[in-house]
Amino acid sequence: MKELYEAVKRLKPQVLVSAYVWTVRDPYICLRDWVEWVRKGYLDAVNPSGYIYNYKEYINRCKENIEAIRRVNPRVPIFINIGVHTSHGTLKSAAEIIKWVEGARKLKADGISYFTMKTLLPYIDEVSKALFREKASVPRP
């Protein structure tokens, strides 16, 4: 990861290097210690998975990931990735999507992203009106 980060910054220093990650247990699941990457400064932002369709479990996973990142580098922006429809499950309404976003916001995530735009489109007007009244900006470390 160090070589990748340094190569990107050498070519385009303004580019944010980020990673889509699953859980703080990643080193044991897929040998990817992204918390250590954050600690060493190899990630400018982190995009933890929110592909969980039980709200309590979703909140617990988000909290665990956010706390781990804040503990090692509180300046690194965190964007929770909400899976509207994935192989793991589906959020079935705009109200559910809104609830998931509000949960991430309450936990102080810096932003959210969606997987996928196609599955978000049926709900986009209602979600946008409820959640995105102001133009978004990209937090930078």
Question: Can you spell out the DSSP letters for 61-124?
Answer: HHHHHHHHHHHH-TTS-BEEEEESEETTEE--SHHHHHHHHHHHHHTT-SEEEEE-HHHHGGGH
Three-state SS for 7? helix
Q: Give the domain ranges of the chain.
A: 2-131
Mean pLDDT value across the chain: 92
Architecture label for domain 2-131: Alpha-Beta Barrel (3.20)
Mean pLDDT, residues 114-131 taken together? 95
Q: How confident is the model at residue 135 (pLDDT cuts 50, 70, 90)?
A: confident
Cα separation, 83 vs 101, whole angstroms: 11
Each residue of 75-111: pLDDT tens digit? 999 999 999 999 999 999 999 999 999 999 999 999 9
Is pLDDT at 31 greater than 60 in this prediction?
Answer: no
Whole-prediction pTM = 0.88
Residue 28 has pLDDT above 60, yes or no: no
